Amino acid sequence: MGFPNQPSGGNTPISEPKDHTIKPSRGALECMVNSEIGAVLAVMRRNVRWGFRYAAEDDQLEYSLIQSFKELRKKIFSWRHEWNNVDPLLYLRPFLDVIQSDETGAPITGVALSSVYKFLTLGIIESADMNVDKALHQIVDAVTSCRFEVTDPASEEVVLMKILQVLLACMKSKASKNLTNHHVCNIVNTCFRLVHQASVKSELLQRIARHTMHELVRCIFVHLPDIESRVCADPETGKKQQEDNGCVDVAVGNDQTDEKTRKRDIACNGENPMMDPHGVPCMVEIFHFLCSLLNVMESIEIGSRSNPIAYEEDVPLFALGLINSAIELGGAAFANHPKLLALIREELFHNLMRFGLSMSPLILSTVCSIVLNLYHHLRFKLKLQLEAFFSGVLLKIAQSKHGASYQLQEVAMETLVDFCRQHMFVAEMYANYDCDISCSNIFEELANLLSKSTFPVNSPLSALNTLALEGLIAMIQGMAERIGQDSLVSDQGSFNLDGFRPFWVEICKDYNDPDHWVPFVHKMKQIKKKLLVGVDHFNRDPKKGMEYLQAVHLLPDKLDPKSVACFFRFSNGLDKNLVGDFLGSHEEFYIQVLHEFSRTFDFQDMNLDTALRIFLETFRLPGESQKIHRVLEAFSERYYEQSPDVLANKDAALVLSYSLIMLNTDQHNTQVKKKMTEEDFIRNNRRINGGNDLPREFLSELYHSICENEIRISSDRGADTPVLPPSHWIGLVHKSRQTSPFIVCDHGPYLDYDMFAMLSGQTIASISVVLDHVEQEDVWQTCIDGFLAIAKISASYNFDDVLDDLVVSLCKFTTLLLPSYTDEFIVTFAQDNKARLATLAVFTIANKYGDHIRSGWKNILECILSLHNFGLLPTRLFNDAADDVESTSDAYKSKPVAASPSTPHVPSLAPSRKSSGLMGRFSQLLYLDAEEPAPQPNEKQLAARQQTFQTIRMSHDTIFAESKFCKQSPFHSLSGPS
């Protein structure tokens, strides 16, 4: 027997109509159904089992399956004008009976499936006025329980393909809105089993099965944006809770819910929500199932395959691809449904971290695509998760940590550059992370990484170097595009605290209004800078660190337990060994600090092991037994205070906490050979709950939690392994519920001043390095565009020193400052596109932003003198300069002008008439030392000179088009009266 409800793998499109609205005419329906009846009967009669009559008692009867088709054939022609009123089940039943029969062979079952597929795709069923929902339910039930005899492998594969076709057609049908959550889950479950079963079949079936799964996921989640979340009351507490379209929370494969959930379901719906028209409940199950695939894929055994793909890549890629499809279509609507959002925050992101650190570039690329989609749609709900991914995966891989290959580095760098191209990504990283005292400096780390990665290391420039440059320039160009919009740059000065205020309680009045959040993040950035200096001092010398923080008013002049406790709790980068030693100290002051420290945690409605994990993630538990006792005593007191219904008293919490630490050491210390069993653990904790035993199930759950996920109590969490430990992820998820809101930046340049101050210097250096080494013209243009963007921002924000540095760097690439013979230079310049681009850029910047250039004018003047010396300045420049000087000097006609020395020989390409004013006098001075005319050029030199001059002429409108260039330049200061 062949069972399609078996496990399987594949990705090629199914040939099926896109438009389901094509319908036969009314008079043709009976002919079409009759044709399908005939097709099934014809195949059945070819089989010896169905090809003869047999006796049952005294009557000659045909087999019931054949008889039902013949009875249907008698009726269909009487429905000529009443098809709308015909129950679809009347003509579907014989076909569905064949599909469900385990006595039919693959060819018969395949024809029956084709008939049902035809009814679905031609819209016959959905045009009925009655029982459409029941008909669709019956089709799904029949197809998902399809059984048939396997006659040959080819026929079996045909049937499996047709099962996939019919189930997908059910979801694509307009009548699919009548499917229940339960039926949709069955469809997905059956298709996934076929995917698994197809792994031992042909590659064609593998690809079709996988394609069908992708199509199903798209069909389901495309409706998520149209579904609203509802609020219903918990029947036991009476409190309103936001629920997901049916108020259900069930895992895939588990149709049972606890009594409380069941009561709430009934309160919201009056019935089992899995029987409601499909919506969020089935999406929760399916998305949870897809996330769980990433946990169990590695343990699935798989047989030999005709076309094997690398298993360690193939299976996770399939699951990740389905998840990406769901997120692409569900988009921001995931945020409206708490259970779906919780799956992304807690389960999905942890798996993305884990698979992102795999050694497969293909898996990393897929993971990065998912994270980019999550950032685009849900970043305002995933602040700490995104921080963990950037700092723990992308930045680490791009820095070649954990043995990352060049290919992995390139994928990570490409992803970072893609993020930099998102319009407000850079500003949001800076506002949400660099300006948050509890977060990493993601913007600063990213800028440093990109800048460092542009410099080649003992080798020619690589693709990775130019890719990093693209990221830097994308950051700069984003800022340049925002120039001219309203900006809040008035609060850029240093922020000074005039007295102590608890920095950990600072909040913004409105995270959506730039008038509030922009000054707030400026303030927090200044506090963070000082705090990080204090943390650095503390890690080297705790006493000096405290004194510094008191001096900058981040701690009070007289230390109190609460302020020190909050410094330990909320400061990023503290040495956890030192914090643990202080918290375990026997000094009375630090005992008070310890208790204040424990009060900063919220353990309400939390399991004891989860609370202990979160608590011990913030410092390193000391090794001395007395210190351990003091620390656990403070923890137990806080836990019991917030969870009095779990344990009888705080002593019970203390004993059980000790027991969990001992179990953790026992299970995860390699030196312990004989491990504690579950029975040992339960026996060790008898009568600790006020003289009574704790429930066995409660202790068993704690035992397995510790055995499966170690409580990490070392200071270097994750340092010995690239994978984020589960215990730390639990703490991160808990912290994410309490962190400050994610600031979604609009298109205003509110923080560009601060970011540009950090970014400008290293970007100029990076562009210069790449421009110096690269030979591709498209990269030259990218570099020049970057220089122009920096110049624009520098002038707009009055970064005159940055503009001077830029001009100095850029002038070097013009080659105009290098000593050279005239004809030799002209030939070289004519062939040097990089030099010509740089020359054009230099004079463009001088023309547009000359008022902001200071020391850089020296280099610009040297370039002009070089061009003039080689006879390459167009005549128009001299004419414009002379006209400008004459018009400027009209007011001074009464004053004498100093005589000018005689003009020496000027090459033929110089101005033909005697120039007056600035350019004339300057050209005379330029050639005072000329001893003799230059030799006549040959034909090659003439051609090169002509080409160079044409280049200058073509650039002329850009370089010297505006007469204000002469006014802005230092020449103008010389053109007045002497």
**The pLDDT of residue 916:** 35
In a domain, 464, yes or no: no
Are residues 761 and 694 located together in one domain of the fold? no
Are residues 214 and 132 located together in one domain of the fold? no
**The pLDDT of residue 254:** 36
Q: Which residues are CB-neighbours of 705 under 8 A, at least 6 positions away?
A: 607, 609
Residue 7: pLDDT band (50, 70, 90) is: very low
Residue 27: pLDDT band (50, 70, 90) is: low
Are residues 170 and 184 located together in one domain of the fold? no
In a domain, 397, yes or no: no
In a domain, 128, yes or no: yes
Using CA atoms, how far apart are residues 974 and 917, in angstroms rounded to an integer? 9
**The pLDDT of residue 387:** 95
Are residues 730 and 637 located together in one domain of the fold? yes
Using CA atoms, how far apart are residues 312 and 67, in angstroms rounded to an integer? 52
Using CA atoms, how far apart are residues 497 and 501, in angstroms rounded to an integer? 8
Are residues 91 and 192 located together in one domain of the fold? no
Would you say residue 53 has pLDDT above 70?
A: no
**Least confidently predicted of 166-170, 338-342, 645-649:** 645-649
Last residue of a domain, one of 179, 206, 237: 179
Q: In this predicted model, what pLDDT tens digit does every residue of 460-504 receive, in sequence order?
A: 888 899 999 999 999 999 999 998 765 444 444 455 666 788 888
Point out the catalytic residue in the list 228, 298, 624, 679.
624
**The pLDDT of residue 949:** 64
pTM: 0.82
Are residues 834 and 806 located together in one domain of the fold? yes
* 387 included as an active-site residue: no
Q: Are strands 240-243 and 230-233 parallel, antiparallel or unpaired?
A: antiparallel
Are residues 677 and 759 located together in one domain of the fold? no
**The pLDDT of residue 954:** 54
Share of residues in the chain with pLDDT > 70 (%):
75
Would you say residue 719 has pLDDT above 60?
A: no
Would you say residue 927 has pLDDT above 70?
A: no
Are residues 170 and 106 located together in one domain of the fold? yes
In a domain, 824, yes or no: yes
**The pLDDT of residue 306:** 36
402: left (phi over 0), alpha (psi -120 to 50) or beta: left
Q: In this predicted model, what pLDDT tens digit does every residue of 181-213 receive, in sequence order?
A: 999 999 999 999 999 888 888 889 999 999 999
Q: In this predicted model, what pLDDT tens digit does every residue of 861-914 receive, in sequence order?
A: 988 888 888 777 766 555 555 555 455 445 444 444 333 333 333 333 333 333
C-beta neighbour count of 303 within 10 angstroms? 6
Are residues 537 and 658 located together in one domain of the fold? yes
**The pLDDT of residue 958:** 52
Q: In this predicted model, what pLDDT tens digit does every residue of 551-600 receive, in sequence order?
A: 999 999 999 999 999 999 999 899 999 999 999 999 999 999 999 999 99
**Mean pLDDT across the stretch 25-31?**
69
Structure token pair of residue 848: 């547009």
Would you say residue 782 has pLDDT above 90?
A: yes
- 11 burial (CB, 10 Å; 0-12 / 13-18 / 19+) is middle
Are residues 205 and 93 located together in one domain of the fold? no
Last residue of a domain, one of 707, 737, 767: 737
Instruction: From residue 324, give the alpha-carbon distance in Å to each of 329, 360, 365, 436, 454.
Output: 9, 18, 12, 30, 32
Q: Supply φ then ψ for residue 55, to 5 degrees.
A: -95, 135
**Mean pLDDT across the stretch 333-357?**
93
395 and 371 in contact (C-beta within 8 Å)?
no
In a domain, 664, yes or no: yes
Residue type, 599: R
Residue 578 belongs to a domain with what CATH number? 1.10.1000.11
**The pLDDT of residue 874:** 63
Using CA atoms, how far apart are residues 232 and 465, in angstroms rounded to an integer? 55
Last residue of a domain, one of 688, 705, 737: 737
- The number of distinct structural domains making up the chain is 4
Q: What is the mean pLDDT of the chain?
A: 80
Q: In this predicted model, what pLDDT tens digit does every residue of 231-269 receive, in sequence order?
A: 444 444 444 445 444 333 323 333 433 444 444 444 444
In a domain, 645, yes or no: yes
Residue 825: pLDDT band (50, 70, 90) is: confident
Are residues 685 and 830 located together in one domain of the fold? no
Most confident of 257-271, 298-312, 701-715, 902-916: 701-715
Most confident of 95-109, 266-280, 362-376, 921-935: 362-376
**The pLDDT of residue 428:** 95
Note the maximum CA span of the chain.
Answer: 141
Most confident of 271-280, 707-716, 802-811, 857-866: 802-811
**Mean pLDDT across the stretch 508-518?**
91
In a domain, 834, yes or no: yes
Are residues 802 and 812 located together in one domain of the fold? yes
**Mean pLDDT across the stretch 961-969?**
46
Q: Residue 461 half-sphere exposure, CB side, CA atoms within 13 Å?
A: 19
**The pLDDT of residue 296:** 66
Would you say residue 403 has pLDDT above 70?
A: yes
Residue 285: pLDDT band (50, 70, 90) is: very high
In a domain, 175, yes or no: yes
| Domain residue limits at 623 | 503-716+723-737
